[in-house]
Amino acid sequence: MKRAIFRIIDANFNRSREGLRVCEDVARFILNSPKLTKELKAIRHALSAIMREPPIDSRILYESRDVETDVGRRSRFKSEMKRLDSIDIFYANIERVKESIRVLEEFTKLAGAKAPAKFAALRYRVYDVEKRFNKKVSSLRDRRP
């Protein structure tokens, strides 16, 4: 597989794990939700497990990483630098997770791995967690005086 493909896989693996960790911390420390926290952690670990399966090799991913010359490294939009509250942080990161898992799903197809179907299943788990998070946030808002 071309180096550029490995760079895409590496960047999106990192992006999805980082986003999941942020969402997990919101569920854990802001919502105090053991169920959502556990599910987000399980998804993060499942993602890592998929990435350890052949033909994906972490050494090749690390070797293909090129942080110094990455043209997207410094591009930021003003909206990325501003958040309204912790709920906004969750939604920004869950979107990042869904998008990056979709990219992993597409680009691992080029590796001939079983990973694409597994990534698709993970993406649907993320959709479900997002829906449950939304319900939890809505119920908390409804309880406010």
Question: What is d(CA 90, CA 77) in angstroms, rounded to the nearest whole number?
Answer: 18
Domain boundaries, the chain: 3-66+80-143
pLDDT band with cut points at 50, 70 and 90 for residue 67 = low
How confident is the model over 120-135, as pLDDT tens digits? 999 999 999 999 999 9
DSSP-H helix ranges across 26-114: 34-51, 58-64, 86-107
Whether the ω angle into residue 55 lies within 30 degrees of 0, i.e. cis, is: yes
How confident is the model over 13-61, as pLDDT tens digits? 999 999 999 999 999 999 999 999 999 999 999 999 999 888 777 777 7
DSSP 114: S
pLDDT for the residue numbered 81: 60
How confident is the model over 89-107, as pLDDT tens digits? 999 999 999 999 999 999 9
Sign of the dihedral through C-alpha 110, 111, 113, 117: negative
The residue length of the chain stands at 145
